[in-house]
Amino acid sequence: MLGALEKRDAALAASLLVHHIDHIEADLDLRPASGLGLREAVASE
């Protein structure tokens, strides 16, 4: 993407950025976590 920006190719830079964001979005795990939260895990009794 840096090369596209250096060449001032806005269309290519935008396309590469969208591809990058799509890749990151595909790897996200947005399921609710199970088990104790951090606060509960470290709370003193």
Give the Cα separation of 17 and 3 in Å (integer). 12
Where exactly are the structural domains of the chain?
1-30
Output the pLDDT for position 45.
60
Output the pLDDT for position 7.
95
DSSP letter (8 states) at residue 8:
T
- pLDDT tens column, 1-45: 889 989 999 999 999 999 999 999 999 988 887 888 888 888 866
Give the Cα separation of 40 and 38 in Å (integer). 5
Per 3-state DSSP, the chain is made up of helix, strand and coil in percentages (nearest 5) of: 60, 0, 40
